[in-house]
């Protein structure tokens, strides 16, 4: 954990308990250890959606569909989401959850490898939420930035890897060194690319919030 447990527990104690149609989906996912957004990260994501009012959202990593359904519940009327997932078991559950919530017109689930699917997408998105395999973030980035609208936001979850990303590569286990180096490269790209403005925030497992500058206004 990258944040003191007492601080995390205090932040969570301030959250209003949500009792809605998505509560059981969230609870079931956490009980089954499905990697969905942490509660405090979820609230930050909600705040961003309410501030940005994105009509088009792209999500990389649907899991069981919870975060798509959650974001869509705060989008403006007519807002849509494209979400990507490759895990067959999670795809089945995500489809079921999306259908049960009556959101099949608003949320489109694309099945398969995100790297390949992203290459085939066009248009632009006001908000892109990346919450998938951490070692692949750097490979997603070229197409994610291509698809991100000017003044759009990229929200990347789990970027501090329980604090491992702060360590020397020799301090992490050998099997995690590739992920470690790729995430450090990803964060360096986000923070040193001129047309991007990025903040790395130590909340949950670490998030980065990136705005793509509108170069036409510069």
In angstroms, rounded to a whole number, what is the distance separating the alpha carbons of residues 42 and 59? 14
Of 19-23, 51-55, 146-150, give the lowest mean pLDDT range: 19-23
Assigned token pair, 46: 């909600």
Of 19-23, 51-55, 63-67, 171-175, give the lowest mean pLDDT range: 171-175
Q: What is the pLDDT of residue 216?
A: 63
pLDDT in tens, 125-177: 999 999 998 889 999 999 999 999 999 999 999 998 654 555 555 455 665 66
DSSP H helices in 112-214:
114-120, 137-147, 177-192
In angstroms, rounded to a whole number, what is the distance separating the alpha carbons of residues 166 and 202? 12
Q: What is the mean pLDDT of residues 191-207?
A: 93
Indicate the pLDDT class of residue 14, thresholds 50, 70 and 90: confident
In angstroms, rounded to a whole number, what is the distance separating the alpha carbons of residues 71 and 59? 10
Spatial contact of 57 and 126, defined as CB atoms under 8 Å apart: yes
In angstroms, rounded to a whole number, what is the distance separating the alpha carbons of residues 161 and 175? 14
Indicate the pLDDT class of residue 67, thresholds 50, 70 and 90: very high
CA 61 centroid distance within chain: 7
Rg (CA), the chain: 17
Q: What is the pTM of this model?
A: 0.89
């Amino acid at each position: 954990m990258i944040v003191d447990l007492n601080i995390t527990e205090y932040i969570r104690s301030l959250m209003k308990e949500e009792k809605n149609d998505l509560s059981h989906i969230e609870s079931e996912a956490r009980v089954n250890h499905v990697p969905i957004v942490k509660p405090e990260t979820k609230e930050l994501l909600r705040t961003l959606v309410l501030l940005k009012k994105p009509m088009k959202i792209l999500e990389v990593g649907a899991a069981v569909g919870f975060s798509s359904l959650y974001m869509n519940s705060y989008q403006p009327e007519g807002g849509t989401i494209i979400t990507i997932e490759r895990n067959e078991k999670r795809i089945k559950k995500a489809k079921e959850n999306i259908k049960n919530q009556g959101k099949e017109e608003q949320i489109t689930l694309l099945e398969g490898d995100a790297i390949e699917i992203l290459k085939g997408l066009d248009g632009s998105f006001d908000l892109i939420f990346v919450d998938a395999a951490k070692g692949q973030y750097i490979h997603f980035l070229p197409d994610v930035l291509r698809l991100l609208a000017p003044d759009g936001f990229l929200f990347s979850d789990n970027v501090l890897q329980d604090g491992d990303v702060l360590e020397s590569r020799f301090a992490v286990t050998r099997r995690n060194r590739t992920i470690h180096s790729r995430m450090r490269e990803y964060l360096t790209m986000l923070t040193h690319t001129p047309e991007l403005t990025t903040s790395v925030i130590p909340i949950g497992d670490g998030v980065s919030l990136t705005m793509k500058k509108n170069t036409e206004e510069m």
